[in-house]
């Protein structure tokens, strides 16, 4: 584990424990099967980044209430719901090194438990009693489903542009980070300026997080990743490293790359060559550079808050988003 990760984990140990407890307590299904399937995805080594961000954002706004940890579960439940549906849609086999829920159980169960988790997240949002909070969360779920549909619709679309990629990852990933940070400001009755700053922090962190995630497919091996390397490509999912490389490739090379990408049965040798091409055409570096820019914007957004320990942890998490190996 990196020093940065150790440092963050030690600073937020109590928060993470409290979040973990709330995730168990607030699940409240009627059926044992629902708890079992939901727990399979919820308690399988997730980082709890989204609820943690909410708790920290509440603290930086000087929130004095007792409900930050309870409401932070909304973001993990919504996240877990999308993972259940996405794994099914992507035909994934492994997540975090474990068999996915639709393989352990079946597709219908994964769909319906995903629906339950989505509903549960919104039900907890409703318990805030704050219409503004509920609106933000309902809107997030709309955006997320549309981001996923957009991505699905544009699988194997070799003309996918950078702008379209940005739109997809904003919806499917960044709006949830943004919401987690923004909701805290609403709960804490912080100023609109603080609310906007935290929303910016979450949005940019989320964008960078997804870009770093997309890079992992080309920079990490299977054992570390806990899933198949090259999985994005096998699903026809074009991410920024590929989009940028394709845009920079000369004719001939471009066609060669497309031939590999278009064939889900590509060999390890073909994949390794493709990764080299992505690198030499600048796709990897460019993606890192943009991710770094987003992290810088995220960190800049926190300037208006006093230099507390909480702010430092949030800045550290922003740096960690780029250094993580999985």
Binding stretches for its own copies (CB under 8 A): 29-31, 33-34, 85, 88-89, 107-109, 111-116, 118-120, 122-123, 125-131, 134-135, 137-139, 141-142, 144-146, 148-150, 152-153
- Please say whether the beta carbons of 233 and 217 come within 8 A: yes
Instruction: State in Å, rounded, how far the first CA of the chain is from the last one.
Output: 11
Shortest distance, position 143 Cβ to its own copies, whole Å: 8
Q: Which is nearer to its own copies, 126 or 322 (CB)?
A: 126
Q: Which is nearer to its own copies, 144 or 298 (CB)?
A: 144
Assigned token pair, 147: 């981001």
User: How many beta carbons lie within 10 A of that of residue 222, not counting itself?
Assistant: 13
Shortest distance, position 153 Cβ to its own copies, whole Å: 6
Assigned token pair, 232: 């994005």
Shortest distance, position 114 Cβ to its own copies, whole Å: 8
Shortest distance, position 96 Cβ to its own copies, whole Å: 21
Give the single-character DSSP code of 96: T
Q: How many CA atoms lie within 13 A of 65 on its CB side?
A: 17
304 φ, ψ to 5°? -75, -10
Q: Which is nearer to its own copies, 21 or 107 (CB)?
A: 107
Q: Which is nearer to its own copies, 16 or 152 (CB)?
A: 152
Q: Using CA atoms in the order 234, 236, 238, 241, what is the torsion angle rounded to 10 degrees?
A: 20
Q: Which is nearer to its own copies, 52 or 117 (CB)?
A: 117
Assigned token pair, 201: 């922090």
Q: Which is nearer to its own copies, 154 or 227 (CB)?
A: 154
Shortest distance, position 120 Cβ to its own copies, whole Å: 6
Cα–Cα distance between 35 and 31 in angstroms, integer? 7
Which sign, positive or negative, has the C-alpha torsion 104, 239, 1, 60? Answer: negative
Strands 98-99 and 94-95: antiparallel
Shortest distance, position 299 Cβ to its own copies, whole Å: 30
Q: Which is nearer to its own copies, 45 or 264 (CB)?
A: 264
Which has the closest alpha carbon to 74: 121, 107, 38, 126? Answer: 121
Q: How many CA atoms lie within 13 A of 265 on its CB side?
A: 0
Shortest distance, position 77 Cβ to its own copies, whole Å: 11
């Amino acid at each position: 584990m990196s020093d940065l990760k150790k440092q963050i984990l030690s600073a937020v140990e109590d928060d993470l424990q409290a979040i973990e407890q709330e995730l168990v307590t607030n699940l409240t299904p009627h059926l044992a099967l629902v708890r079992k399937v939901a727990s399979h995805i919820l308690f399988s080594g997730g980082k709890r980044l989204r609820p943690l961000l909410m708790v920290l954002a509440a603290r930086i706004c000087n929130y004095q209430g007792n409900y930050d940890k309870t409401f932070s579960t909304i973001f993990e439940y919504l996240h877990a719901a999308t993972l259940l549906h996405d794994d099914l849609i992507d035909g994934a086999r492994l997540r975090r090194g474990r068999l996915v829920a639709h393989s352990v159980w079946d597709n219908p169960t994964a769909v319906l438990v995903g629906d339950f988790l989505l509903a549960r997240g919104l039900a907890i949002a409703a318990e805030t009693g704050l219409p503004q909070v509920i609106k933000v969360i309902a809107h997030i779920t709309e955006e997320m489903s549309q981001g996923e549909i957009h991505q699905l619709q544009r699988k194997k679309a070799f003309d996918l542009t950078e702008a379209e990629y940005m739109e997809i990852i904003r919806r499917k990933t960044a709006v949830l980070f943004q919401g987690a940070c923004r909701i805290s400001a609403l709960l804490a009755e912080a100023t609109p300026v603080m609310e906007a700053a935290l929303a910016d922090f979450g949005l940019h962190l989320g964008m960078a997080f997804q870009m770093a995630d997309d890079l992992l497919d080309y920079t990490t091996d299977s054992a570390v990743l806990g899933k198949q390397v090259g999985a994005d490509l096998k699903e026809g999912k074009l991410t920024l490293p590929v989009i940028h490389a394709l845009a920079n490739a000369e004719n001939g090379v471009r066609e060669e790359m497309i031939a590999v990408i278009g064939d889900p049965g590509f060999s390890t040798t073909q994949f390794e060559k493709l990764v080299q091409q992505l690198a030499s055409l600048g796709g990897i570096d460019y993606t890192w550079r943009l991710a770094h820019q987003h992290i810088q914007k995220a960190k800049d957004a926190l300037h208006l808050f006093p230099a507390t320990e909480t702010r430092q942890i949030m800045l550290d998490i922003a740096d960690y988003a780029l250094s993580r190996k999985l």
